[in-house]
Amino acid sequence: MSCFSCFSSHEKKSSNKKTNGNGNRRVQSETALDTQTGAPQHNDFNKQKNSPENGNSKDASDKLGKGNIAAQTFTFRELAAATKNFRQECLLGEGGFGRVYKGRLENGNQLAAIKQLDRNGLQGNKEFLVEVLMLSLLHHQNLVNLIGYCADGDQRLLVYEYMSLGSLEDHLLDLAPNQKPLNWFTRMKIATGAAKGLEYLHDKANPPVIYRDLKSSNILLDEEFNPKLSDFGLAKLGPVGDKTHVSSRVMGTYGYCAPEYARTGQLTLKSDVYSFGVVLLELITGRRAIDTTRKTDEQNLVTWAQPFFKDPSKYPAMADPLLEGDFPVRGLNQAVAVAAMCLQEESAVRPLMSDVVTALSFLAITPETEGNPAPPNVCSSPSTDKMSFDEKDKQDDDSSQERERAVAEAIEWGSNHKRSQGGSGLSI
């Protein structure tokens, strides 16, 4: 998973805050799209007669609502005025797509994040077209809202709702001096919301959508720390019918890609589940997916975590030191168990996102919330710490079964809690 010697592009994306140079590497070998995820049919786009995107537009629009784009169209002049002619003072961040600016739209009442395509950047027209298509047709409280776009001449810009607190990365991994770290329940609230966004893409979208670029910098936060997934330029339609996967050139961000996808280019919904496991592990530990400033054996977060996964008694040692021990041990044990299940090497045994949502549903509930029963207790085996070296294989099997049991208990508890609150089915 950690060996991508042929990929060397380096970038960091942040939609609402300027980057500090300590970014992630985007894994990209060629263009993001093939004939399965093309562009919507639209007059502005069809002017590009020689563009390879146009050959795919009919296929994609047939699969996703005939390409009816509800997003508003803007002129370049309107967006230049909204950003004070793209002044430096309005710059929020910069990434593979280009620069992101804070702007006030012409009506004067709506703030927006305006992303301008860098024609020499890592992403291009195809990613632009896919993002317009996806966000015009997919709507959920945990997906960022696309207000509109601009396709004037060779200018390509996207206009999103403004997310006032920036990205999860800004509050978890890039803390400024004296910045207060996220508490445990806020972290679990963010994890649950991000999981619900993925669940919508996997289970409610038809055909299903593979997000393909889940990472902390792509999870944006509103003023109440409600998370929304952003940046859908790499999104791809998932397998339908009797197909088990879609084939794709390897795309994504180093440290978050599922190992089987990195090896074979075969993309499934479980590829997103793995990436979610990495983000959940970041929330638990406060560590980056890849951190070259650490010792060699600690640079890859998943590799560092594997020994802890085998011994549930050591789960609390994984907690972010900035939490200063202020977290429910049972809740942390459950979160680590869910992360471990998502990060299974074999994709088939990873849970569905619907199961992850159910398992996480109680973790964001604060103790002050009235009328909520205690979450299930997740204890290590009494004999775990006394295992001899000769019993290591049995210990590995037992810890794996214990993780599965913990997740099953959490799912059952989450389902019971929803029924007790008058809900039915999964939270969407």
Say if residues 188 and 367 touch (Cβ distance below 8 Å). Answer: no
Which of these, 157, 135, 125, lies nearest to 53 by C-alpha position? 125
Give the residue carrying structure tokens 């998502």. 342
- How much is the average pLDDT of 12-39? 41
- How much is the average pLDDT of 371-376? 48
- How much is the average pLDDT of 222-235? 92
Higher pLDDT pick, 163 / 382: 163
> Is the pLDDT score of 3 beyond 60?
no
**Is 385 among the residues known to form the active site?**
no
Rounded Cα distance between 24 and 37, Å, is: 25
Angle at which helices 329-342 and 392-420 cross, to 10°: 110
- Give residue 363's pLDDT band: very low, low, confident or very high (50, 70, 90): confident
Task: Sketch out the chain's domains with CATH numbers.
Answer: 26-161 (3.30.200.20), 168-420 (1.10.510.10)
Say if residues 258 and 274 touch (Cβ distance below 8 Å). Answer: yes
284 backbone dihedrals φ, ψ, rounded to 5°: -70, -45
> Is the pLDDT score of 308 beyond 70?
yes
> Is the pLDDT score of 265 beyond 50?
yes
pLDDT of residue 398: 56
- How much is the average pLDDT of 348-358? 95
- How much is the average pLDDT of 65-93? 84
pLDDT of residue 413: 53
The torsion of the CA quartet 287, 187, 276, 199, rounded to 10 degrees, works out to: -170
> Is the pLDDT score of 37 beyond 60?
no
Say if residues 128 and 158 touch (Cβ distance below 8 Å). Answer: yes
> Is the pLDDT score of 18 beyond 50?
no
Say if residues 51 and 38 touch (Cβ distance below 8 Å). Answer: no
3-state SS of 372-406?
A: CCCCCCCCCCCCHHHCCHHHHHHHHHHHHHHHHHH
Token pair for 213: 């670029």
The pLDDT tens digits of the residues spanning 123-156 come to 667 788 888 988 888 999 999 999 999 998 889 9
- How much is the average pLDDT of 251-263? 89
> Is the pLDDT score of 285 beyond 90?
yes
Rounded Cα distance between 333 and 348, Å, is: 23
- Give residue 238's pLDDT band: very low, low, confident or very high (50, 70, 90): confident
> Is the pLDDT score of 391 beyond 60?
no
Catalytic residue (choose from 118, 170, 174, 213): 213
Binding residue per annotation — 310? no
- How much is the average pLDDT of 231-240? 85
pLDDT of residue 410: 58
Say if residues 50 and 142 touch (Cβ distance below 8 Å). Answer: no
Bridging pattern class, strands 209-210 and 157-161: unpaired
Rounded Cα distance between 163 and 170, Å, is: 12
Rounded Cα distance between 49 and 45, Å, is: 9
> Is the pLDDT score of 230 beyond 70?
yes
